[in-house]
Amino acid sequence: MPERFLSELRDAVAAGRGQFEYLRDLGFDEVSAAARIGTTLAGPAQGGETLEKIRADLESCGCCGLCKTRKKLVFGVGNPQARLVLVGEAPGREEDEKGEPFVGEAGRLLDRILFAMGLQRDEVYICNVLMCRTPIIRVPEPE
Ligand code: SF4
């Protein structure tokens, strides 16, 4: 295995461990937290909402103003029935251009991490908290 990949994998595992420790400190159990998120996305939402309907609604969302500078809405992809949901922060330049989360360098690293875990991308669900790219890195505004 190339040393660069091992180094990236070690960094990712360390970062993931920190996230799980943070969740544990908040009182979450790691497995049940992931399953709860997956259930929310996979099942029919209140009022018969589906991921497709939510996506369609967000295409015209202007709640926070980031829609004005985005190229494409970056909605989640993957298996809506997945038990593992990976949630990033916000789309980057390549995600904004393609309209898909975790593409480019970050996506290739994620694919390698999933492969090392014995998973394929279509076995998990991948999304971001923000669906539109922030043009600059800044402190979040109230919206
Ligand atoms: S980032 Fe989210 S809330 Fe803001 S405009 Fe885009 S879809 Fe709406």
CATH code of the domain containing 94 = 3.40.470.10
Residue 90 located in a structural domain: yes
User: Number of structural domains, the chain?
Assistant: 1
Does the pTM surpass 0.85? The reply is: no
Residue 64 located in a structural domain: yes
Pick the more confident residue, 66 or 49.
Answer: 66
Site to probe by mutation for ligand 1, drawn from 69, 89, 130 as the one with most ligand atoms within 8 Å of Cβ, is 130
Integer Cα distance of 142 and 12 in angstroms: 30
pLDDT in tens, 19-32: 667 767 777 664 44
Residue 48 located in a structural domain: yes
pLDDT at 103: 93
Ligand 1 centroid to Cα of residue 130, in Å, is: 6
Residue 140 located in a structural domain: no
Ligand 1 centroid to Cα of residue 31, in Å, is: 29
Integer Cα distance of 123 and 104 in angstroms: 19
Looking up tokens 């996305």, which residue turns up?
41
Residue 77 located in a structural domain: yes
Q: Which residues line ligand 1 (CB under 6 A)?
A: 58, 61-64, 66-67, 130-132
pLDDT in tens, 87-126: 999 999 999 999 999 998 889 999 999 999 999 999 999 9
Site to probe by mutation for ligand 1, drawn from 59, 61, 133 as the one with most ligand atoms within 8 Å of Cβ, is 61
Residue 111 located in a structural domain: yes
Residue 89 located in a structural domain: yes
For Cα atoms 105, 110, 68, give the angle at the middle one, nearest 5 degrees.
60
Which structural domain, as residue segments, surrounds residue 88? 30-128
Residue 139 located in a structural domain: no
